[in-house]
Chains A and B, each alone.
Chain A
Amino acid sequence: MIRVQNLVKTFGSFTAVNDVSFEVAEGEIFAFLGPNGAGKTTTIKMLTTLLQPTSGSITLDGLNPKTHHNQVRQRFGIVFQDPSLDGELTAWENMELHGVLYHVPSKIRRQRSEELLKRFELWDRKDEQAKKFSGGMKRRLEIARGFLHTPRILFLDEPTLGLDPQSRNQLWNHVKNVNETEKVTVFLTTHYMDEADRVAHRIGVIDHGKLIAQGTPREIKDSTGAETLEDAFLKLTGDSIRDESASSTDQLRQFAKMWQKGGR
């Protein structure tokens, strides 16, 4: 379903993704793990047409994102690392907007929106503005929205960041559930190793832009002789802390938080 060969992305002299190759089979849940700044998000951005690779090739469902932009976009759903809902719109309106952008015919759109909102336990709150939702509800709405156009692949970039254990647990149950019922291929990143261990069929570990291990959770644990996936991960990537400098987006995010508390 996803095939990546010798993928490279450089920003000036910095190589964010360095010669990465992997494959994800149809219906598989693949977890992409790595410390901060390892190149996870950059890889997802290239897979989802937001960034152009410097070199290497990507095939999604047999199509090249570079030449078949819109066909590829129609085939995947994505939940970004940070929220991407329109907080001023209601849950239902967010679904509507997405459905129209993805050319879902209006009858199917309404039917599927209802079905998905019910499944993700948001139907009772469908006419509330998304900004009034809790973190867990927002995430659920984003995942429900990502499924609206029946994608073949779902990308989840740290979907459980900042959620409580209950919401995390529920969210993964939902993801597993749709993976089974709709045969969707799932490509996810997370910092919670126990989640990856529980949910993923296969795992890839990336560090400093290089893919350093690949296999089932069992294989990865065995190859490093570690008890848990977390230990295996630390053995593979070392225990030095990666400090990313705050980007202007982070600063703006801070500002927006202050603003929201004061203003609304």
Chain B
Amino acid sequence: MSAIYILWWRELRRYSRSRAQMVVSLGQPLLYLLVLGSGFGHVFQRAGMGNYFQFISPGVIGMMVLFSSIFSGLGLLWDRQFGFLKETLVAPVSRLQIMIGRTLGGATVAVIQGLIVMILSVLFGFRPQNWLAIPAAIGFMVLIALCFAALGTAIGSGLQDMQGFQLIMNFLVMPIYFLSGAIFPLTNQGIVLSFITRLDPLSYGIDGMRNVLGAPNVAFNPVLDLVVLAAFGLVFILFGAWRFSKIEI
């Protein structure tokens, strides 16, 4: 237990030390929120889809949680690089505990980042239907964070160099984001697109947040969102733990 705690603590410590990175990482979500949010607002409204800012805010919160959590998992690459990974792997604790500690730490950081984006979006005019819905939205953020921190760990366990990192960014992280319905509604899409978007765990996370926050154009039932997302989370955690146990230095 103490090993899990100390590795969780380490992730938070590193996060609180890197203020600059914290600010820089907010740049992209803000760009989406403010530029797309106001740029598309007009068209969206005219198409009768409701307020675009209300629609995209949960999407951008989900994006922040996705990026932050998956990068924390991929942080394994840096720990391998700077050698710290070895220090934990020769310690008399099980790999499972190490993996859980790291994943919980990365997920916690991702949720904090998501909360910052949520606060910013409220400052810029996002209004949840009911303030009491916020804890439920945070619940979805936690699930998204766990899901992708574990996926990041699974992938990071096998990554050896920076090229791989770029590959993951372009062929996994960005598609997960764009296909999640973060920036466009998932309803009334063609068969191919709606099939692919249904395979994306983030779709359910963002849709779940839209459901509880009362944002327009939800695609699924909130219970379905919760169940599917939790199932993805479980599978990724098991997969991540298995991959982590196979690391050889």
Contact = CB atoms under 8 A, between A and B. Distances in A.
A101 B86 CA distance: 13
B175 interface: no
A100 B248 contact: no
B132 interface: no
A73 B94 CA distance: 11
B83 A82 contact: yes
Contacts of B80: 249
B83 A74 contact: no
A74 B10 CA distance: 21
The B contact surface, by secondary structure, is: helix
Contacts of A87: 82
Interface residues of A, number: 36
A73 B82 contact: no
Interface stretch (A26-34, A180-188, A225-233, A252-260): A252-260
B248 A103 contact: no
Contact of B86 (A73, A80, A252): A80
Nearest to A74: B92
A83 B18 CA distance: 21
A48 B89 CA distance: 10
Interface in B67-94: 77-78, 80-94
Interface residues of B, number: 31
Contact of B91 (A88, A93, A102): A102
Contact of B2 (A82, A100, A255): A100
B92 A103 contact: yes
Contact of A248 (B82, B90, B160, B248): B160
Contacts of B90: 48-50, 73, 78
Contacts of A100: 2-3, 5-6
A93 B9 CA distance: 11
Contacts of A248: 160-161
4 nearest A-B pairs in the assembled complex, by CB-CB distance = A84-B83, A101-B91, A70-B92, A73-B92
Given A83-B83, A249-B81, 7 more contacts: A70-B94, A74-B92, A78-B90, A88-B14, A89-B10, A102-B92, A251-B161
